[in-house]
Amino acid sequence: MTYRLFLPLMAGAGMSLSFAPYGYDLLVFPCLAILFLCWFCCSPAQAFWAGWWFGVGQFGTGVSWIYISIHDFGGTDSLSAGIMTLLFVMFMALFPGLCGGLTGLMRRRFGLEDFRLSGLLIPALWVCIEWVRSWFLSGFPWLSVGYSQSDSLLAGFAPLGGVYLVSWIVAMISGLLAMAIWTLKNDRRSSIKWIFLGVLAWPVGGILKNVNWTHDIQPVVRVSMVQGNIRQDQKWLSSMKWPTIERYFGLSEKVAEQSDLIIWPETAMPVMYDQARELLSWFQQKVINNQAALLTGVPMVNERDGLIYNSMVLLRNGQQQFYFKHHLVPFGEYLPWRSLLGWAAEFFPLPEDDFSAGSSHPAPLWLDKIGLSLSICYEDAFGHEMLPQSRQSNILVNASNDAWFGHSIAAFQHLQMARMRAIEMDRPMLRVTNTGITAFVDHRGRIMRQAEQFQPQVLTESIQPRAGMTPYMIVGNAGIMSWLSFLVVLAIIFRRGERKRLHDRKGRVEYDPVP
């Protein structure tokens, strides 16, 4: 029994090395295969606990940076921050635990074995649970296994069905590897067959990776992104308001003549927009002489209803366009169920005022005829939510403040997810952050240029806009979820058909008269 808990725990912890910044993308396959092998011969309860311990290893190592956000920048004491991080990891581990429990129940109920279990059922259930994790209680899609393949040939599947199609390919290969190990002793020929089927995914992905789903359009846009590097614990101090503004103004003025667009990160302006409006307009029109449009993050109060928004504003030639963040961070940007949880503010540093969510179907911001698809902070982790705006746009823009993560692996993981959005939509991604990692990403998801973390820096690059749509942009997650549902039903139908044939054969043997 011990191996069924210890092995999944170690496999889950090891799987975090397949993501950025480590990049051992092949490691995800044996780690998942170990978990699947444990599920082959477990009761439903044992399979649940094997999955849960795998999740503890996966999230305990992969998102341990949550402690930094809560303790270092949230102002929570060490004990409380440790308890909250542990509870979060234990909760997230329920998702792979649920996958294991469902696998055990369906295996017992329908008698699924061999390829029906490893090649059809388990990979489909794994990705369905990842998908549920992406929206349940606001969602946390971090560490979905498809992201581990952002640099591999398997990323070529992303424009077809998004990151969850890549996750399914990863889970299917892992299931075939588990099946190969399971049959190695008694049937080496079948074992080689499972390995061969799994290896086929790489050349197919390589072919897909070279397909041009979209096409270049004119004009090329010269973009400068400013990484101000304002420490999170100083960001909102009144004494830092003018030094922050002067830093962004000074860095931007130097590149105005060579830029069509200057981008500042999320909440780069440490004041509300009504206080910064005239100053920003003066800077855009007078200091940089209307030569470059200015896109900046700034909090905004709606004068009509008093609601507060985390917003981006595009200023050019006296005109202004807005984007309001719509997928807010619970307990960071708003307190869910405030009437029930308001008491917790006495013990933990929770937001006093809630940000309000913008429209879930925002319009692009326009730079002449070039559409910009905006996302703020970890909105870029939810690819399906970016689709309505991105279908009308030519360039993806993500403005973040990853200073909350400190010197952890989270900023690298976040950049990896942004790169996957570029691959899915076959469009360049401009990612500007406060402390890093600011980066230009091309439409293949490759990093063209990136800034050094925790340094004030300006990156300037010529960006090629693109038009057209990938298959994923047309169908969204509905395509892959329909396919996974079909596979689960197919596995059950195969098993029932086999049972009927066995029953009929037994009946003929028992009752047919001897000639």
The set of catalytic residues is 266, 325, 377
Burial class from Cβ neighbours inside 10 Å (0-12, 13-18, 19+) for residue 88 reads middle
Question: How many angstroms separate the CA atoms of 187 and 148, rounded?
Answer: 31
Q: Where would I find the beta strands (DSSP E) of 308-438? A: 308-316, 319-324, 365-367, 370-376, 395-400, 429-433
Q: Burial code of 329-346, b = ≥16 C-beta within 10 A, e = fewer? A: bebbbbbeeeeeeeeeee
Question: How many angstroms separate the CA atoms of 465 and 216, rounded?
Answer: 6
Contact criterion met (CB below 8 Å) for 479 and 486: no
Half-sphere exposure of 493 (CA within 13 A, CB side): 6
Question: How many angstroms separate the CA atoms of 399 and 433, rounded?
Answer: 6
My answer on whether omega of the bond before 66 falls inside 30° of 0, hence cis, is no
The secondary structure of the chain in percent helix, strand, coil, rounded to multiples of 5, reads: 55, 15, 30
Question: How many angstroms separate the CA atoms of 350 and 353, rounded?
Answer: 9
Handedness of CA 58, 63, 65, 66 (dihedral sign): negative
Q: Where would I find the beta strands (DSSP E) of 249-326? A: 261-263, 293-301, 308-316, 319-324
Question: How many angstroms separate the CA atoms of 263 and 255, rounded?
Answer: 11
Q: How many C-beta atoms surround the C-beta of residue 160 within 10 A?
A: 19
Amino acid, res. 500? K
Q: What is the 3-state secondary structure (H, E, C) of 172-191?
A: HHHHHHHHHHHHCCCCHHHH
DSSP helix/strand/coil, 263: strand
Instruction: Name the CA dihedral angle for 280, 282, 283, 286, rounded to a multiple of 10 degrees.
Output: 160
DSSP helix/strand/coil, 448: strand
Tokens of 5: 């808990």
Question: How many angstroms separate the CA atoms of 202 and 205, rounded?
Answer: 5
DSSP helix/strand/coil, 413: helix
DSSP helix/strand/coil, 241: helix
DSSP helix/strand/coil, 407: coil
Facing residues of 373 across strands? Answer: 396
Chain mean position to CA 465: 23
Tell me the Cα Rg of the chain.
25
